Structure formats: structure tokens, C-alpha cells
Amino acid sequence: MYCCAAIGNDIYWVGVNDRKTERFENYLPLPSGVAYNSYLINDEKVCLIDTVEVRQSGTFLNKITAIIGDKNIDYLVVNHMEPDHSGSMDEILRAYPEITIIGNAKTLQMIKAFYPSFPEASFKAIKEGDILDLGTHKLTFAMVPMVHWPESMVTYDITEKVLFSNDAFGSFGTLDGGMWDDEVNFDFYKGEMRRYYANIVGKYGPQVTNAIKKLGGLEIKYICPSHGILWRKDINRVIKYYADWAQFIPEKKGVVVMYASMYGNTEIMANMIARELSQQGLKEIKVYDVSKTDSSFIMSDIWKYKGLIIGSCAHNNALYPKMQPILEKLQNYGLKNRYVGIFGNMMWSGGGVRGIQHFTDSLSGLEVIGKPIEAKGAPTHEIKEELRALAREMAKKILEEI
């Protein structure tokens, strides 16, 4: 009845699939759902690694008892306090009142903040490198602050060489039968992993780089993240994705053209740019209307490609309202290592192009290609030539890169 897939000796996935929630963190769309992964080690001492989101705590408890029967759970390791993972902690405490909750000093502060009635005597603080002996399995811990909260840590099973990596290497998308990277449509999960990275972890590139360095000496047979598929086929490949994303290293030669258009003229400009990019030989071109496509998908492609061309009409002397949030998010995340082109439209005093320029001026790691192009209504012959020239220059820069 309950799928509790085995990972190594005595290690089980007891996570849950969520196909009901519309938006992750209440703002990121989940068209393919999300999995909250939790792991159970059924050794002499029984240990749970993280829990699941609260609404599925009943299913979660049933999965656990299907494996351990009426045995107790001795430990719950809390790698991360965000409620998509800690949400069922109260239920676990009620079902297993003798359990010891394992975390670090910052974890405890957050537990008390989220769950004021938490019995503090149930908590045991560990430090980096401490060993938790379960019998056959020995667990150790490493702190990975800001990947993606301050208290975040990972747990490593020394015996089975499993890294319980917390949010790192996680992806959106439920586990629809396949659980491992070699059992699924890999491209789909890779895309959803990048979308997860770009929107959830993307601000913390330096911390991700530090975490990868810290974990570099470990022999890892399995990576078990707290969302999405598990990794066993090519561990180095998934680590390389993260290392590159953390440094804004693009995956492919390509361009995102994102635009905001009320009456179609800025859209015409975007389409002209895209056509010229194609004429120049670029095969990976993504054109997005920011009023239609959720910004989380656009963010993912911005992480994927080296080129970004941004166009906005003006709205009340400022950026178009649907363009503003994605630029603010990119600014907050410190976008860098990208070529950027700017275009837009005005009718009286502008504001769209000016707003994009404020964005590019605020980030030192961007290289602006050409001059901003601003049409007044329908693009004139001269404006069309400028748009083509911008596309040619962008394509040249990208295609000439090694």
C-alpha cells in the first residue's frame, strides 16, 4: 500500500508526493508537483532523517510503521527547519515521545520559534564532525549554512556512503514511479532541478561553492536530497551542475528574450530580435512574455543561457509592473556573468528602458551589449535596424565564446 523504497542496507525512502499544492513557498508554481523526501534507517537504533510537510503526516507515519512496526524511533535528524521538512515533527513527537531530536544550535532556535511548545529536553545538539552511532550505520554531520537557511546541514552515512544532502541537489516534480536519476526522464528533472536552484538557492552561490569544497573529500555512493529524484548513476555530474550554477556558468550558448508589452509593439521588437538571433545561427532562443510565463521558469532559463535581452514598455513613468518583480529578484540574487541587451517602448516620458538600465547599473557582473533601444509606439525603420544590430552583436559574443 505504501511505497517505501529501499536505498541501501536498512535505509528507506519514506517521503511523500504532493500533487495538490499549487505553489511551493506559496509563490512558485508546481505543475508537476513536488516530493518531500524523508529517510528512515532501521538499524539497532532507528533514525529518521527529516520529516515531511504537515498535511501528509498521516501518510508519512503509516509509511514508517509499515517498516518498523511497533519499534520506536530513537532519533530524528533535522537537517533543515523549513516547514516543508520539519512540518511533521510535532506528529512524530506525539507518536514517539521518547525520540531524540538531533540538530545544531541554530536548529534549536528555529524549532522554538516555529513550535513554541517543543520539549527542549528532547533536543540534542551536534557539531560538525560528531558521530551518531546507530549500530551498523554511523552518521556524521556537516554544516552548510545558507544552503539554503542559516541552520542547514547535511548528514553523511559513513557506512553506506550516503549523503543526505538537504535542499542541495533537490528538484521540483513528484516521484512518479522512478526514484533514481537512471530511472527517469532525466531532462525533465534536470530542468526542474535548475528551476529549484535558480529560485530557491540561487542567491547563495558562494555558500554553495563552500559547501561543495567542504564535502569534496567524501566518497559518495548515493545523494539523497530532500526533494525530487535521488542520485546514484553519476554523482560527479550532479555536483558539477551545482558548482556551475553557483558561479553563474551557463550551460548552453543561447539567449533569453523577456519582454513586457501592453499593446504589442514591444512584443514586435522582441520577435524581431529573436528572428535575427536565429538568422545569426543561434539555436537556443527563448522568448518570454513576463505577463504570461511565471518568472520561476524564466529564472531557470536565465541560469541556463549566457545571453539575456530585456524589453519593457513604460508604465506610469516606470517599468511595466510585471517586469519589475523578476528584475528585483535577479538583482537580489546578484545575477552576473551574463551579456545583457536592453530595449523598450515609450509614449511620453518613458520609464521602461530607464528601469532596465537601473537594473543593469546595479549589478557589476553584467556586460551590457550595445546601447539601449527605445521605440515610441510602432518600431520605425531605424529602430528595426538597431534591434537587428543588437541581436547580431549578442549572437557574435555568444557564438565566439569557447
Binding site for ligand FEO (CB under 6 A): 80, 82, 84-85, 148-149, 167, 226-227
Smallest separation (angstroms) from ligand FEO to the CB of 34: 9
Residue closer to ligand FEO, measured from CB, 226 or 265? 226
Residues ≥6 apart with Cβ < 8 Å to 216: none
Nearer to ligand FEO, 228 or 352 (CB): 228
User: Which residue in 130, 11, 137, 147 sits closest to 67, CA to CA?
Assistant: 11
All three cell numbers of 399: 557564438
Q: What minimum distance in Å lies between the beta carbon of 170 and ligand FEO?
A: 6
Residue (115 or 149) nearer to ligand FEO, CB: 149
CA dihedral (303, 305, 306, 311) positive or negative: negative
Closest CA to 49 of 122, 179, 155: 155
CA atoms of 89 and 111, how far apart (whole Å): 10
Smallest gap from Cβ 356 to ligand FEO, in A, equals 31
Q: Which is nearer to ligand FEO, 204 or 288 (CB)?
A: 204
| Separation in Å, CA 299 to CA 109, 258, 262, 327 | 32, 10, 22, 10
Cβ at position 149, least distance to ligand FEO in Å = 6
Tell me how far, at minimum, the Cβ of 191 lies from ligand FEO, in Å: 18
Q: Please, which residue, 151 or 374, has the CB nearer to ligand FEO?
A: 151
Q: Give the residue at shortest CB distance from ligand FEO.
A: 82
Nearest distance, CB of residue 346 and ligand FEO, angstroms = 41
The two most distant CA atoms of the chain are separated, in Å, by: 78
Residue 80, judged by CB atoms within 10 A of its CB (0-12, 13-18, 19+), counts as buried
Q: What is the SS3 assignment for 210?
A: helix
Phi, psi of 6 (to 5 degrees): -85, 145
Provide the minimum distance between the beta carbon of 354 and ligand FEO in the complex, in angstroms, as a whole number: 36
Rounded Cα gap, residues 86 and 253, in angstroms = 40
Nearer to ligand FEO, 51 or 360 (CB): 51
Say if residues 379 and 265 touch (Cβ distance below 8 Å): yes
Q: What Rg value do the Cα atoms of the chain yield, rounded? A: 24
Q: Residue 226 Cβ, how far from ligand FEO at the closest point, in Å?
A: 5
Cβ proximity to ligand FEO, 29 vs 135, nearer residue: 29
Backbone angles phi, psi at 212, to 5 degrees: -65, -40
Residue placing its CB nearer to ligand FEO in the complex, 149 or 188? 149
